[in-house]
Structure 1
Amino acid sequence: MNPRPTPTSDRISDYLAADAVVDHQHPAIRAQADALRAKGDDPVGSAKAAFLFVRDEVEHVIDAGDPRVTSRASDVLRERVGICHAKAHLLAALLRAQGIPAGFCYQELSALHGLNAVYLHSKWSRLDARGNRTGAGGEFSLHEEKLAWPVDAAKDERDHPEIHPAPAPVVVDFLKTVQPGPGWYENGLPAAL
């Protein structure tokens, strides 16, 4: 059983903020969020549409064999490619642009894996828009957690229940400094927070 998601801030406004990575005030992010907004402004429908867009319309660099490195949400949207962390940055931006609180969660698998949490119906639910190629199984669900990868304790994998308002600095620093090219994610992708 996965641990219960727990916000690290008690201010919901922290999970709506824009910053250099989650640049949800960028015109392209705003336009895409508006396009995904469910008719009648239903927050659950809007959140699901944003999740499906990021999961299915933005390629995961490993699945695509893509040499590009993206990090900032607007860059991920423009390039339509990113590693799990970059896809999480985009999903958070699309949700926050619609006034839906979203945060960042992590799993320690073979490397540090990034995903999101969304606040709907007065509770936090984790979502993993990594992409479902190569055996991953992330689905939109506010009731039963359906993440891309299960944690295997026998392999010393770890699930972090904390919901952070901003992406982990170790991830942001890595994505800012790594050189693009084939297999760039193999050269120092953080293993832990």
Structure 2
Amino acid sequence: MIYTMKSPNISAYLEASEFIDFDHPKVRIIADYLQERLMQRVSLEPNKILYDPELELARLTYLLVRDEVAFTYDIGKQDVTIKASDVLTKKHSGCFGKSHLLAALMRANGIPAAVCYQYLRLDDGDNAPLILHALNAICPESVGSWFRLDARGNNDSVSAEFCIDEERIAYPVDPGRGETDLSLLFAKPDYSVIRVLNQYTDASVLRLHLPDKIAGRYWES
């Protein structure tokens, strides 16, 4: 896929914002913790890690968000979490909050990160409504191009991994069912997504009204 940066300057994908709030102390602490984990890995396997510590840091960051922050609907929680710092507080979120957290932690450690979206069918039926799913793309300096990651969290039917050359995301689209990967890379969350998420505090109610279209412009508070 050829990606289109909504913000033309890569520096926009390194900035803190209302929902990608890596300037929050809680997010900074976890970003620093990931740096410490990287140094521990270097000390244990220097020959393996030193060739590209940035990629190893990105991998550790991805695994933390994928595996240590639960997917709200997998664990039956009701809180709706949107900001990266709130996701850390609650230790769970849906795809939107998890994408904001992954972007925040990547950016906190100097790795450009975007939020991106897919149109997916809500269930297996061809007549099921299309909804938006959020994931991320990152652009490490050593790679020099964007590649997507999905930190939704794995289960019996979802198997996503940190891969550069062969993408392994949670939900590969089925074009025959009208599903679509959107190529636009957002430096901030889409306006329509946040407008919908802000209307609900109960995740079970939100599930009935999930965002189903992008505005193509940023949310500005």
TM-score range, shorter chain: over 0.9
Distance 1:151 1:185, change over 3 A: same
Q: Match for 1:74: what amino acid?
A: S
CA deviation string 1:87-131 (max 9, x = no partner): 000000000100111001100002200000001121111100001
Q: Which amino acid aligns with 1:188?
A: H
Given residue 102 of structure 1, which amino acid in structure 2 is its aligned partner?
A
Task: Classify the secondary structure of the residue corresponding to 1:123.
Answer: coil
Contiguous gaps of at least 5 residues in structure 1: none
Give the partner amino acid of 2:112.
P
**Equivalent of 1:119 in 139, 151, 157:** 139
Which sections of structure 2, spanning at least 5 residues, go unmatched? 43-49, 122-130, 215-221
Query: Residue 161 of structure 1 aligns to which amino acid in structure 2?
Result: S
Q: How many residues align?
A: 190
Give the residue type in structure 2 aligned to 1:75: D
* Preserved CA contact (<8 Å) 2:197 2:211: no
Q: Distance in 1 between matches of 2:71 and 2:138?
A: 21
TM-score, length-scaled by structure 2: 0.82
Report the structure number with the largest CA radius of gyration: 2
**Are 1:58 and 2:69 matched, yes or no?**
yes
Q: How far apart, in 2, do the equivalents of 1:165 and 1:134 lie?
A: 32
Aligned-pair CA distance for 1:192: 2.1
**Root-mean-square deviation over aligned CA pairs:** 1.4
Mapped partners of 1:73, 1:91: distance in 2: 8
Q: Secondary structure at the match of 1:126?
A: strand
Q: Deviations over 1:26-63 (max 9, x none)?
A: 11101101111222692111111110011001111111
Q: Secondary structure of the equivalent of 2:183?
A: strand
**TM-superposition CA deviations, 1:12-32 (whole Å, max 9, x none):** 110011111010011110110
Give the percent of matched residue pairs that are identical in Structure 1 and Structure 2. 40
- Pairing partner for 2:28 from 27, 30, 35: 30
Task: Give the equivalent residue in structure 2 for 1:104.
Answer: 115
Per-residue deviation at 1:179? Answer: 2.8
> How far, CA to CA, are the matches of 2:87 and 2:201 in structure 1?
16
CA distance, structure 2, for counterparts of residue 156 and residue 67 of structure 1: 30
2:200 counterpart residue number: 178
What TM-score comes out, normalization by structure 1 length? 0.93
Pairwise mapping of residues 15-26 of structure 1 onto structure 2 (< 5 A)?
15-26=13-24
Aligned to 2:127: none
Partner of 1:162: 184
Shift, 1:136, TM fit: 1.4
**Structure 1 residue ranges (4+ consecutive) displaced by more than 4 angstroms after TM superposition:** none
1:134 deviates by 4.4
Q: Secondary structure at the match of 2:182?
A: strand
Deviations 1:128-185 (A, max 9, x none): 000111411211012211110110112111110111111111111222221315x123
Alignment of 1:36-115 (within 5 A): 36-37=34-35, 38-39=38-39, 42-110=53-121, 111-115=131-135
